[in-house]
Amino acid sequence: MANFDIHQIVQSLHEARLDWRLSQRRNNDANGREFPSRDALASIVETLKGVLFPMRLGPPDLRQESENFHVAHALDAALHSLLEQARLELKYSATLQNKAVPDLDADALHVTRAFGASLPDIRSLLDTDVLAAYQGDPAARSVDEVLLCYPGTLAMIHYRLAHRLYKLGLPLLARIISELAHSATGIDIHPGARIGAGFFIDHGTGVVIGETAIIGNNVRIYQAVTLGAKRFPTDAQGKLEKGNARHPVVEDDVVIYAGATILGRITLGRGAVIGGNVWLTHDVPAGAQISQAASREEGAVLAAAAAA
């Protein structure tokens, strides 16, 4: 029988963990879990999808006459699980910042209740996203198909839930929820981004939307679009400055076609159309149509003006 020297490996792993915790000034004497659980949050989100859309994303044997009973039972379970995850993040955040641990139970209960109360508004926003996808894609045969099949819709469910948690002061929970959708769809939406109603991501793979991006109403984007930062300023010690507005502002009714890269704190004016594979680092006026050729010409004009 093979011998893998399990005891020695376990002991070495233990020492590696202790070294890491010491270098990061972590508490080696802590009992119980210190951080939120990715698995727990995946289960919570799956339950919340059934709460928001019970007859389409809920249990397969659910009937309309028991819909409210299911929603009440599932919501209660999800919020109790979320309460514990919120408590873990608040404790972790206080420890990380060397602050006094707050009244964890009261604070966690407050944010969890606020999140629960926001679910009807989240459902209403998601309805606009689903309708935008149905109206914007000639291949969509029904809103139900959009909800059940479209990766952009799945990403937006996660984003809408995550964004609310982000606004409530739980950025780690929010980021985990966003990354669950990223792993499943290839769509990377930071929960700090601000996205208006009626947002449609068609196909979706490779889409990146940064933390400080602002997107208006009725915006449509396609696969491999990036709303990113142009540069990353550093402080006097050479460390990245965080929290600065560094991502684009996209006004209402803008369309951005596949492969476009939009960088920096620039504004795409209302109703603008950005062609495929365009690289943009400057503002676009309302109603403009930007193609690859137009983008190169404008870039040359800007470069000449800067050199003059």
**Is there a domain that residue 148 lies in?**
yes
Q: Which helix (H) or strand (E) is 168 found in, with range?
A: none
pLDDT for 111 equals 97
What number is the average pLDDT over the span 246-262? Answer: 98
Same domain, 42 and 106: yes
How do residues 72-107 score in pLDDT, each as one tens digit?
999 999 999 999 999 999 998 888 777 777 688 999
Q: Residue with structure tokens 């540069």?
A: 231
CB-facing half-sphere around the CA of 301: CA atoms within 13 A? 7
**Is there a domain that residue 18 lies in?**
no
The CATH number of the domain where 149 resides is what?
1.10.3130.10
How do residues 13-25 score in pLDDT, each as one tens digit?
999 999 988 887 7
CA angle 295, 300, 301 (to 5 degrees): 100
Are 282 and 266 in contact by the 8 Å Cβ rule? The answer is yes
What number is the average pLDDT over the span 248-254? Answer: 98
Are 225 and 258 in contact by the 8 Å Cβ rule? The answer is yes
Q: Confidence class of residue 116 from pLDDT cuts 50, 70 and 90? A: very high
Angstrom distance (rounded) from CA 207 to CA 56: 26
Q: Residue with structure tokens 């698995």?
A: 39
How do residues 263-300 score in pLDDT, each as one tens digit?
999 999 999 999 999 999 999 999 999 998 665 555 55
Are 220 and 256 in contact by the 8 Å Cβ rule? The answer is yes
Output the CA–CA distances (angstroms, integers) from residue 185 to 9, 38, 156, 190, 223, in the order listed. Answer: 36, 17, 11, 14, 11
Same domain, 149 and 269: no
Angstrom distance (rounded) from CA 93 to CA 99: 8
State the greatest distance between any 2 C-alpha atoms of the chain, in Å, as a whole number: 78
Report the predicted TM-score, pTM, of the whole model to 2 decimal places. Answer: 0.89
Are 215 and 193 in contact by the 8 Å Cβ rule? The answer is yes
Same domain, 214 and 289: yes
CA angle 168, 170, 174 (to 5 degrees): 105
Angstrom distance (rounded) from CA 151 to CA 201: 8
Q: Confidence class of residue 231 from pLDDT cuts 50, 70 and 90? A: confident
Checking if the pLDDT of 235 tops 90, the result is: no
Same domain, 227 and 103: no
- Domain stop point among 125, 157, 186: 186
- Number of folded domains that form the chain: 2
Please list, in sequence order, all residues whose beta carbon lies within 8 angstroms of the beta carbon of residue 127, skipping any fewer than 6 positions away: none
Q: Rg of the Cα trace of the chain?
A: 23
What number is the average pLDDT over the span 156-174? Answer: 98
Chain center to CA of 43? 17
The CATH number of the domain where 245 resides is what?
2.160.10.10
Same domain, 46 and 182: yes
How do residues 203-219 score in pLDDT, each as one tens digit?
999 999 999 999 999 99
Angstrom distance (rounded) from CA 194 to CA 269: 16
Token pair listed for 23: 């270098």
Domain encompassing residue 111:
33-186
